Amino acid sequence: MTITESDLPGVGKKFEIELDDGEMIVVIHNTGKRELFYRPEPSADSEKTFEFGDDLARTIGSIIEGAHFQPLEPATQETTLPGGILLEWYELPPGSPLVGETLESADIGNRTGLAVVAIQRGDEVIDSPDAGTVLREGDTVIGVGTRENCEAFEELLTE
Classify each residue of 63-87 as buried b or exposed e, where b means 16 or more C-beta atoms within 10 Å of its C-beta.
eeeeeeeeeeeeeeeeeeeeeeebb
Q: What is the pLDDT of residues 81-129, one digit of tens each?
A: 777 788 888 999 999 999 999 999 999 999 999 999 999 998 899 999 9
Q: Supply the pLDDT for residue 155.
A: 94
Q: What is the pLDDT of residues 125-140, one digit of tens each?
A: 999 999 999 999 999 9
Q: Supply the pLDDT for residue 70.
A: 65
What whole-number distance in Å separates Cα of residue 135 and Cα of residue 7? 44
Q: In what order do the strands lie in the sheet with 78-81?
A: 78-81, 85-91, 140-145, 115-121, 124-127
